[in-house]
Amino acid sequence: MEILRWIRDHWQVENCLHWVKDRYLEEDRHYLKRGRQVFAKLSNMALSLAKLMQQSGEALVEVAENAHYAPKKVLQKMGFCPM
């Protein structure tokens, strides 16, 4: 039973984190000799911000596209720009 729990936990991480990072951030497409950790941390931060800004029923790709085309709104939501 311990092995089954470990396998389920592993695939939960794969399906909930790595798949999302590859699907929306195309993480597997990037090959870096240096700075892999920095890239991973930046992509984790971007994904976390997108999830924080995500409203119910809204797809992550929609959140990312809105942030791409209207970055000032994202900065306002984060408190960096006055409303």
Mean pLDDT of the chain: 79
In the chain, domain spans: 2-77
Q: Report whether pLDDT(45) > 80.
A: yes
Helix (H, G, I), strand (E, B) or coil at 83: coil
pLDDT tens digits for range 26-38 = 777 777 778 778 8
> Could you write out the DSSP letters of every residue in 7-60?
HHHHHHHIIIIIHHHHHHH-GGG---SS-HHHHHHHHHHHHHHHHHHPPTT--H
pLDDT at 16: 67
**0.75 surpassed by pTM:** no
Q: Is the pLDDT of residue 43 over 70?
A: yes
**Is the predicted pLDDT of residue 56 greater than 80, yes or no?**
yes
pLDDT of residue 51: 83
What per-residue confidence (pLDDT) applies to 83? Answer: 62
